[in-house]
Structure 1
Amino acid sequence: MPPSSADSLRHPVLRAAALAPIIRHFDGNVAAISGILRRNGLDPQRVQDPYEVIALSAYLQVFEDAARQARDPVLGARIGARINPADLGPTGLLMLQSSTARRGLQRFHDSLSALQSATEMKLTEAGTWLGFTYQIQSPGVTGLPQDAEFSLSGLCRLMRMSFDPRWSPEEVHFTHAPSARPDLLERIFGAPVLFGQSANRILFSEEGLDRHHRVEDMALIGLIEHHVADLVLAQDPEATMADQVLLVVSRNLGQRPVDLNSIARELGQAPRSLQRRLAAEGTSLRQIVRAHRQQIVETHLGTRSGSLKAMAQALGYSDGTVFWRAYRGWTGQAPSKENRG
């Protein structure tokens, strides 16, 4: 039997439909993908049912194992660049039916919970550009590179198929360490790709976002949305206020302000109320921002990648000097020394 709604509250899940593009990639080597599925606790026969509910953590690891099996460090992005809207079920079909890209992105956001729980894809302002972020919200599940690259590559593919075949983002950001083949990622996305960032996101121009592409079939859209409502997976009700704040901080850091008033407004809280709730959980906005910044720095320094200026930008500092001082305040030593080994 599939996991119950109660199970999905305890453990983030997604529909087995998400595995279909990976399984198709191994059409010529069924034994290999079947072995990968079994090693991660999944029955190759049961996941043929697109509505089967599986653990999100298992799916993430399947993608990593599949990339190693294929000896392809950009497998996720490569598969994402050739998916069809139907591969994402009603989520992809709603985007294809939308009259404008803005409506399509909003419907994608609204319907994602039918495909995957504890996950958010959200349209935000990011300076002179717009951003669309992909974040796993559960503190118990760590996002992995292949899924992140697949998700953003797949979104770009849907934008091109649904609205403009020449569409490309301005920049692509990933939280993970640099890929073994960043050149291939940049070719797939058609844009610069940056690593060790505060969130997984694509940045793009607002131009053309409201251009009318088709007359919407509201009867069909209504039918798909009704199907989405039937499929919605239970979300995590146990996320703490600190978890919610971290989600907003990671989404906005380096792109928008992460001060108390801005974060409180986005969460629909009064600033003092937010402070009190965080204090009751033994933390504060300052501590959350600092911890997230330190995590990003560790990603950069662990791979000896990036300049101080690039790190400062990812962390939301005005320049490299401000970041240098902050890092020295955290650790008592200069980041440049660690970075150069």
Structure 2
Amino acid sequence: MEHVPNHFSEAFFKMAYVTSLFARKMVAAAGTGIAPKAALASVGLDDDAPWDPKVMIPAVAYYELLENMAKKVDVTELPVHVGASMRCDDYGALGLAWKAAPTLSGSCARIERYARLWTGVVSYELREGGPNQTLFILHRTGERRLGLRLSNEATLASVVSLCRQVCSVPFSPVEVFMQHAAPKSKAYHEDWFGCPVTFEADLDAVVISNEAMERPNILGDAGISRYLISHLEAELSEFNSPPPLVTQAKEAIAQSLNQGAPRMTDIAKGLGLSARSFHRRLSEHGLSFQTLTEETRRELAEGLLRDEQYSLADIAFLTGFSEQSSFTRAFKRWLGKTPATYRKSHK
């Protein structure tokens, strides 16, 4: 077992990253109950660095950050506060395209198509709802752990916040659906959304009246729209393949894990780079060596657990753990379940 099996490579390199902007806003909104430097450092971010939405962090690390915050402060209202604070300009070209669309329907359609430029864990769908209503649906796979649930609430609140910034009259959705259980009180949610919020629903979605969807946006501009769509389409065409350096680095990390935790200098040398150049180039993709290694171990573990020929002891060894118990603790931290439970659910 000196090498990672080749049949795993395709599934292994799916990226599961989110923009660091939400992490920074969550920490900032939490107030004095959270130590900002330590909280951001836990996901590989420097509190003193400029806020750059193009810097990405692993989704699992983001969920863990939210769960650790929930141990220290009351997070009932936090995701709504953060979603409400999001501005169109926070999203770069995608946010400008949202503003420049002729109607709210056009804005939502742009998010539906181009959101994957910002995140690998969320997608959106526009679907006909009840009479004269449209569902703007949030799709996010993964176990309904607390961090994912809080992230979903913030995302749905950000959708409504962005709608309010472009609508020519005060905007509130018809209803908001969330699949997870309600917090201890939903009064703040319903007050801010301005509509009923139904928890334990069949989907995560904002219900918008067709009248609101077809109302002209206050900043709609056909000329700017054409330019931005051209720009986003070009980005999308380049998006399908992960950066070669990231793919090569993850392959090298995976192959070295059975010798223990890899060192950045060794991986860089194998790629023909100095440690400094390797660090800089990873930073250009919004990554650190630590987060890349952690993500590689998790993805490798998930892939190997789907293959019955590998025992849990084998997988612990292949992912760089000296003891199976250490692997079990790490996997439970990543996905909220033990490796054995994960394997049973993926048979």
TM range (shorter): 0.5 to 0.7
Which residue type is aligned with residue 160 of structure 1?
R
Q: 1:165 to 1:217 in 2, by over 3 A?
A: closer
Deviations 1:96-152 (A, max 9, x none): 111111111101212211111132111111222321111114x57867221111111
The match for 2:158 among 154, 158, 175 is 154
- The answer for the alignment partner of 2:193 in structure 1 is 189
Deviations 1:215-244 (A, max 9, x none): 7434433443354346555489xxxxxxxx
The match for 2:88 among 64, 71, 85 is 85
- The answer for the alignment partner of 1:22 in structure 2 is 26
Deviation at 1:158, TM superposition (A): 0.9
Deviation at 1:42, TM superposition (A): 4.5
Counterpart of 2:213 in 1: which secondary structure?
A: coil
Q: 1:52 to 1:89 in 2, by over 3 A?
A: same
Question: 1:46–1:52: 8 Å Cα contact kept in structure 2?
Answer: no
Counterpart of 2:128 in 1: which secondary structure?
A: strand
- The answer for the alignment partner of 2:120 in structure 1 is 117
TM-score normalized with structure 1 length? 0.58
- The answer for the alignment partner of 1:97 in structure 2 is 100
Distance (whole Å) between structure 1 residues aligned to residue 85 and residue 39 of structure 2: 22
Which residue type is aligned with residue 197 of structure 2?
V
Counterpart of 2:85 in 1: which secondary structure?
A: coil
Distance (whole Å) between structure 1 residues aligned to residue 190 and residue 134 of structure 2: 19
Structure 2 runs not aligned, ≥5 long: 1-9, 243-347
Distance (whole Å) between structure 1 residues aligned to residue 161 and residue 50 of structure 2: 24
Identical aligned pairs, as a percentage?
A: 21
Question: 1:64–1:144: 8 Å Cα contact kept in structure 2?
Answer: no
TM-score normalized with structure 2 length? 0.57
Distance (whole Å) between structure 1 residues aligned to residue 234 and residue 25 of structure 2: 23
Distance (whole Å) between structure 2 residues aligned to residue 191 and residue 8 of structure 1: 42
Q: 1:9 to 1:132 in 2, by over 3 A?
A: farther
Q: 1:216 to 1:203 in 2, by over 3 A?
A: closer
Q: 1:31 to 1:191 in 2, by over 3 A?
A: closer
- The answer for the alignment partner of 2:59 in structure 1 is 56
Distance (whole Å) between structure 2 residues aligned to residue 21 and residue 39 of structure 1: 15
Question: 2:63–2:148: 8 Å Cα contact kept in structure 1?
Answer: yes
Deviations 1:274-322 (A, max 9, x none): xxxxxxxxxxxxxxxxxxxxxxxxxxxxxxxxxxxxxxxxxxxxxxxxx
Which residue type is aligned with residue 71 of structure 1?
D
Counterpart of 1:120 in 2: which secondary structure?
A: strand
Deviation at 1:91, TM superposition (A): 2.6
Which residue type is aligned with residue 157 of structure 2?
S
Q: Equivalences for 1:308-327 in 2 at 5 Å?
A: none
- The structure whose RCO (Cα within 8 Å, separation 6+) is larger is 2
Is 2:218 the partner of 1:208? no
Structure 1 runs not aligned, ≥5 long: 1-5, 237-341
Question: 1:118–1:235: 8 Å Cα contact kept in structure 2?
Answer: no
Question: 1:74–1:181: 8 Å Cα contact kept in structure 2?
Answer: no
Deviation at 1:48, TM superposition (A): 3.6
CA RMSD of aligned residues (A): 3.1
- The answer for the alignment partner of 2:173 in structure 1 is 169
Q: 1:140 to 1:181 in 2, by over 3 A?
A: closer
Is 2:129 the partner of 1:126? yes
Distance (whole Å) between structure 1 residues aligned to residue 140 and residue 98 of structure 2: 21
Deviation at 1:179, TM superposition (A): 0.9
Counterpart of 2:120 in 1: which secondary structure?
A: coil
Q: 1:17 to 1:222 in 2, by over 3 A?
A: farther
Q: 1:190 to 1:81 in 2, by over 3 A?
A: same
Which residue type is aligned with residue 60 of structure 2?
S
Question: 1:67–1:75: 8 Å Cα contact kept in structure 2?
Answer: no
Deviation at 1:92, TM superposition (A): 2.4
Greater displacement, 121-130 / 207-216: 207-216
Distance (whole Å) between structure 1 residues aligned to residue 92 and residue 68 of structure 2: 24
Q: 1:100 to 1:199 in 2, by over 3 A?
A: same
Distance (whole Å) between structure 1 residues aligned to residue 106 and residue 233 of structure 2: 18
Counterpart of 2:135 in 1: which secondary structure?
A: strand
Distance (whole Å) between structure 2 residues aligned to residue 82 and residue 101 of structure 1: 19
Which residue type is aligned with residue 151 of structure 2?
D
Question: 2:94–2:114: 8 Å Cα contact kept in structure 1?
Answer: yes
Question: 1:100–1:211: 8 Å Cα contact kept in structure 2?
Answer: yes
Deviation at 1:31, TM superposition (A): 6.8
Distance (whole Å) between structure 1 residues aligned to residue 56 and residue 11 of structure 2: 10
- The answer for the alignment partner of 1:275 in structure 2 is none
Which structure's CA Rg is the greater one?
2
